Structure 1
Amino acid sequence: MAIPNDRMLIDGELVAAGRGRTFDNINPATEEAVGAVPDADAADVERAIGAARRAFDGTDWSTNVELRRRCLVQLRDALRANVETLRSLLVAETGCPVSLTPGIQLEQPISYIDHYIDLLERYEFERTLPTKTIMGMPTDRIIRREAAGVVAAITPWNYPFYLNICKVSAALAAGCTVILKPAPDTPWSALALGAIAAEHTDIPPGVLNVVTTSDNNVAQLLATHEDVDAVTLTGSTGTGRKVMAAAADTVKRVTLELGGKSAALLLDDAPLEAIVPGLAGGVCFHAGQGCTQLTRLLVPRPRLDEALALAVAAMKNVSWGDPTDPTNIMGPVVNAAQRDKVLSYYESAARDGRVVLGGKPTDRFERGYFVEPTLITDVDPKAAVAQEEIFGPALVVLPYDDDADGVRIADSTIFGLSTAVFSADQDRAMAMARRFRTGTVSVNGGQWFDVESPFGGYKQSGLGREWGTEGLEDFLEVKTIAFLAAAG
């Protein structure tokens, strides 16, 4: 089934950019253009914002819970019906291995819409407090949660379809209207979502808008415009700082899911042979382009060589290459700039420490933005490769001296997104988990990634939470209404 992927969605209509401008969508595995997409200018973005404002102010979308629920059901069902077309679009524009699309890249987020569908059946948008005499007045109070308004949703290129669904489904469930602006590297995932919503759901015109642009200055309008009430962004910490600053003049609500430099801490009683191979292979999934991937491995100093040997063996066995080959778990990084950035980190690792495996440009393929799985050690915990988000298939192995030292190193970055801890003693591992300054912690392989679990970070990994009840409430305002209690 064909899905239009060359038109933006503005005010219920699938449209080209106002001036007819386009930019190429590049396949990172082949470096070839796979299509042209609309290149919105400021006037296009203004039209989308105006449509979202009118839809919020002039329709019952924000108060009609049953309509919102019905539209989310329609959207989920239509996405499922088009999943094979979506799969081919996604692999072509992201370079993600097709083997990852049954999970987080595609099919899993479609099923995650059920979370908000179900939540709308039971969530209390209004509750009452007990009667109380306040300043001599017998008073009743109602606590209402109301839609925050017009939401600008800005998404990155690493897991674009998942993040589009994550933000759009939460904001729509809350009763907000949305302008979705994807990364220019992965526009199809958003344009296809807009087209499916327009053609297969009862979402009113203006409630969901999708704009694509190659111009960051145009995109910045979403963070500064007075008719946008809230901004939700997933991206780098640097981008998050800029969006937060831009939103400050109009005091917008911001939800930021930003970078990470997540650590896996293996305590001295942890069975390395059962744990290290999975962690070493895990940093290579989707070429390491994930904010929660455990890119620092902390091991007891006497066991460093053992951990390195296990990691080398695992990374040598990683299957990587053509993302359309279902046996591969790793494809290219998204573009030439990202490839060059990763390679620059590999060069700094060779200067600051020791590259045990990989670390060089690859001549394995004639074309494509491929980099090698790379293992790094003998660097100071404060070195760039141990502090900064590489966003490539690189694992940094760091020794530590005791539990306190392990926690100190794990928490020593500006990030606080995720941590993992492993121990043969579950109680000991749980005690350690409570010490980390991160938004999520995995204990002995426990999985926190689920729609019922709120996700987000401490420190410069972001503000707010996604999924869980908290993910809905990040798009809701709180209003208190007080009135005199009835006599008697």
Structure 2
Amino acid sequence: MLQHDTLFIGGDWVAPAGTGTIEVISPHSEEVVARVPEGTPADMDRAVAAARDAFDNGPWPRMTMAERAAVVGRLADIYDSRQGEMAETITLEMGSPITFSQLAQAPQPLGMLRYFAELGRTFPVEEERPGLFGPVIVRREPVGVVAAIVPWNVPQFVIMSKLAPALVAGCTVVIKPAPETPLDSYLLAEMIKEAGIPAGVVNIVAAGREAGEHLVSHPGVDKVAFTGSTAAGRRIGGICGEQLKRCTLELGGKSAAIILDDCDLPSAMGFLSMASLLNNGQACVAQTRILASRGRYDEVVQAIADMVSGQQVGDPSDPATGIGPLVAERQRERVEGYIRSGIEEGAKPVVGGLDRPFDRGWYVAPTVFAGVDNDMRIAREEIFGPVLTVIPYQDEADAIRIANDSDYGLTGSVWTADPDHGVAVARQVRTGTYGVNMMNTMDPNTPFGGFKASGIGRELGPEGLSAYLEYKSIARLG
């Protein structure tokens, strides 16, 4: 069993302030596979102090952006050499199928490091504009100390969507990994030391809710970058609002995939299997509402049922596995509660249901519901598991109405033989990202974020770098 007894603060491995530990439990075997220290508010104080000193007095914010980008590029090279280890670690700690970990959990963070390293080499830090009384310099400066609070479902992806642009911008960072997935952050800390990033620029403290709220509320933190549930996002946004503290909130989703009547179903199913069920359904971008016309409804239900039934459920370390376990016992209970609710509200499970695939491990049977109304809980609330709902629509206008009839607005997709018409549909759906005959894969070069209850602000792209910069106008006479 893996054992860590220190935290990464101030560029070094330090003893925690408390004696609490976090047990990392395999979702597949239900066995303890690692123990790490549980961070306390006192540990957060120490981490913020280190980040504050590194920002106020250290070299990192005073380097040019191009110089910082070069260091981030060095970190990317080191990360590249350890991708396989990172993928295996994430599969161990949270049950992501190893094929998905190798395809996305490890490579996509590397892609973000490389993207922001390249962007930082040419990003304009200053520009001169004509003003009323003469030229004005518009300058971009780092926002300061950043608290990065990340979830367990795609831990390195979410860390890097915050850390990479924050580092290039010149910020210092305190990362709070989720208690379910602390192990990957220890690998990252080792890489940060090897890359030569100055002490205190990056600090990592795995902890629970109390220490996390202490970090958010800390007066030494200038910005909070959070990914997680909408409920937690509202709480964090409220604290930041009271303190006039900058924040970026990437929250939940309940995305709709619109299948138009001219769609080639066999072709679409290959893509929808990833778009709807990736990471065991534990993805904010999952397309879990499938919208089908009444004329093709039964055909679409059968195609989706066949697609889901064809997924191998089992050990996430097996390359043949398509769907593994959920991250924790409480998550399984939550998802099963939604399945029960769907049945009680009159929806019909055509695949799956409440029978568990195995006696051991936190597995849920992948489930497809037919006969779903968009007002049902299973159609309104984010389930975060392998549960799909197929909802009928009358015509295209009705499909767009149903897609928009949601508290969320993170992503979505449309499936059609006419891609140009698909773009016209995309322009009418109120979401932050959209895919035509594909799932929008969160390209590092384009902004990612949501409308409505799916969050505030954008990550990735030049917009993601700008989120870690403050603007200063310098006017002068003579």
TM range (shorter): over 0.9
Structure 1 residue 79: Cα displacement: 1.7
Tell me the alpha carbon deviations over residues 90-115 of structure 1, each in whole angstroms, 9 at most, x when there is no partner: 11101111111222211232132111
Distance 2:427 2:278 in 1: 28
Q: TM-score, normalised by structure 2?
A: 0.96
Residues 376, 395 of structure 1: 8 Å contact kept = yes
Structure 1 residue 6: Cα displacement: 4.5
Structure 1 residue 88: Cα displacement: 2.5
- Number of the residue aligned with 2:172: 177
Which of 360, 364, 381 is the matching residue for 1:367? 360
- Number of the residue aligned with 1:269: 262
Q: Are 2:294 and 1:308 equivalent residues in the alignment? A: no
Q: Are 2:221 and 1:228 equivalent residues in the alignment? A: yes
Q: Are 2:463 and 1:479 equivalent residues in the alignment? A: no
Q: Are 2:139 and 1:140 equivalent residues in the alignment? A: no
Structure 1 residue 283: Cα displacement: 2.4
Q: Are 2:2 and 1:8 equivalent residues in the alignment? A: no
Give the secondary structure class of the aligned counterpart of 1:220.
helix
Q: Name the aligned partner's letter for residue 236 of structure 2.
A: V
Distance 2:266 2:81 in 1: 43
Structure 1 residue 266: Cα displacement: 1.4
Give the secondary structure class of the aligned counterpart of 2:476.
strand
Distance 2:391 2:20 in 1: 49
Structure 1 residue 63: Cα displacement: 3.0
Structure 1 residue 81: Cα displacement: 2.3
Q: Are 2:145 and 1:163 equivalent residues in the alignment? A: no
Tell me the alpha carbon deviations over residues 105-161 of structure 1, each in whole angstroms, 9 at most, x when there is no partner: 11232132111110111000110003x4x2xxx321000111000000000000011
- Number of the residue aligned with 1:457: 450
Tell me the alpha carbon deviations over residues 424-472 of structure 1, each in whole angstroms, 9 at most, x when there is no partner: 2233222111111000111122645211111110111011111110010
Give the secondary structure class of the aligned counterpart of 2:336.
helix
Residues 6 and 80 (structure 1), Cα distance of their counterparts in 2 relative to 1, 3 Å cut: farther
- Number of the residue aligned with 1:33: 32
Where structure 2 has 5 or more consecutive residues not aligned to the other structure, the ranges are none
Q: Name the aligned partner's letter for residue 150 of structure 1.
A: V
- Number of the residue aligned with 1:85: 85
Structure 1 residue 77: Cα displacement: 1.8
Tell me the alpha carbon deviations over residues 376-411 of structure 1, each in whole angstroms, 9 at most, x when there is no partner: 021220110001100000110000001111111001
User: Which shows bigger deviation, 55-64 or 369-378?
Assistant: 55-64
Structure 1 residue 178: Cα displacement: 0.2
Q: Name the aligned partner's letter for residue 212 of structure 2.
A: A
- Number of the residue aligned with 1:18: 17
Distance 2:417 2:275 in 1: 21
Q: Are 2:101 and 1:108 equivalent residues in the alignment? A: no
Distance 1:323 1:314 in 2: 19
Residues 96, 316 of structure 2: 8 Å contact kept = yes
Residues 245 and 91 (structure 1), Cα distance of their counterparts in 2 relative to 1, 3 Å cut: same
Structure 1 residue 365: Cα displacement: 2.5
Residues 16 and 366 (structure 1), Cα distance of their counterparts in 2 relative to 1, 3 Å cut: farther
Tell me the alpha carbon deviations over residues 235-269 of structure 1, each in whole angstroms, 9 at most, x when there is no partner: 01111101111222211111011000000111222
Q: Name the aligned partner's letter for residue 147 of structure 1.
A: P
Q: Name the aligned partner's letter for residue 242 of structure 1.
A: R
Distance 2:105 2:278 in 1: 11
Tell me the alpha carbon deviations over residues 148-187 of structure 1, each in whole angstroms, 9 at most, x when there is no partner: 0000000000001111122111111111000000110001
Distance 1:433 1:82 in 2: 38
Tell me the alpha carbon deviations over residues 18-62 of structure 1, each in whole angstroms, 9 at most, x when there is no partner: 233322111111111111111111111100011111110102311
Distance 2:398 2:276 in 1: 23
Which of 192, 196, 201 is the matching residue for 1:197? 192
Structure 1 residue 357: Cα displacement: 0.9
Distance 1:327 1:157 in 2: 23
- Number of the residue aligned with 2:398: 405
Q: Name the aligned partner's letter for residue 298 of structure 1.
A: L
Residues 111, 444 of structure 2: 8 Å contact kept = no
Distance 2:457 2:162 in 1: 12
Give the secondary structure class of the aligned counterpart of 1:110.
helix
Residues 275, 439 of structure 2: 8 Å contact kept = no
- Number of the residue aligned with 1:428: 421
- Number of the residue aligned with 1:99: 99
Distance 2:281 2:143 in 1: 34
Give the secondary structure class of the aligned counterpart of 2:134.
strand
Distance 1:482 1:4 in 2: 56
- Number of the residue aligned with 1:419: 412
Percent identity, aligned pairs only, is: 39
Q: Name the aligned partner's letter for residue 54 of structure 2.
A: A
User: Which shows bigger deviation, 184-193 or 12-21?
Assistant: 12-21
Q: Are 2:432 and 1:439 equivalent residues in the alignment? A: yes
Which of 362, 371, 377 is the matching residue for 1:378? 371
Residues 281 and 59 (structure 1), Cα distance of their counterparts in 2 relative to 1, 3 Å cut: closer
Distance 2:274 2:140 in 1: 44
Structure 1 residue 277: Cα displacement: 5.2
Distance 2:452 2:46 in 1: 36
- Number of the residue aligned with 2:145: 150
Residues 224, 249 of structure 1: 8 Å contact kept = no
Distance 2:457 2:364 in 1: 33
Q: Name the aligned partner's letter for residue 179 of structure 1.
A: V
Distance 1:314 1:341 in 2: 24
Distance 2:187 2:82 in 1: 10
Give the secondary structure class of the aligned counterpart of 2:434.
strand
Q: How does 1:304-383 map to 2 (within 5 A)?
A: 304-352=297-345, 353-362=347-356, 364-383=357-376
Distance 1:251 1:212 in 2: 26
Distance 2:355 2:274 in 1: 19
Give the secondary structure class of the aligned counterpart of 1:479.
strand
Residues 20, 37 of structure 2: 8 Å contact kept = yes
Residues 318 and 88 (structure 1), Cα distance of their counterparts in 2 relative to 1, 3 Å cut: same
Distance 2:281 2:336 in 1: 13
Q: Are 2:41 and 1:52 equivalent residues in the alignment? A: no
Residues 277 and 69 (structure 1), Cα distance of their counterparts in 2 relative to 1, 3 Å cut: closer
Distance 2:270 2:78 in 1: 39
Give the secondary structure class of the aligned counterpart of 2:258.
strand
Q: Name the aligned partner's letter for residue 203 of structure 1.
A: I
Structure 1 residue 220: Cα displacement: 0.4
User: Which shows bigger deviation, 188-197 or 459-468?
Assistant: 188-197
Residues 83 and 269 (structure 1), Cα distance of their counterparts in 2 relative to 1, 3 Å cut: closer
- Number of the residue aligned with 2:41: 42
Residues 415, 459 of structure 1: 8 Å contact kept = yes
Q: Are 2:206 and 1:207 equivalent residues in the alignment? A: no
Distance 1:470 1:326 in 2: 36
Structure 1 residue 190: Cα displacement: 1.6
Q: Name the aligned partner's letter for residue 80 of structure 2.
A: R
Residues 30 and 41 (structure 1), Cα distance of their counterparts in 2 relative to 1, 3 Å cut: same
Q: Name the aligned partner's letter for residue 185 of structure 1.
A: E
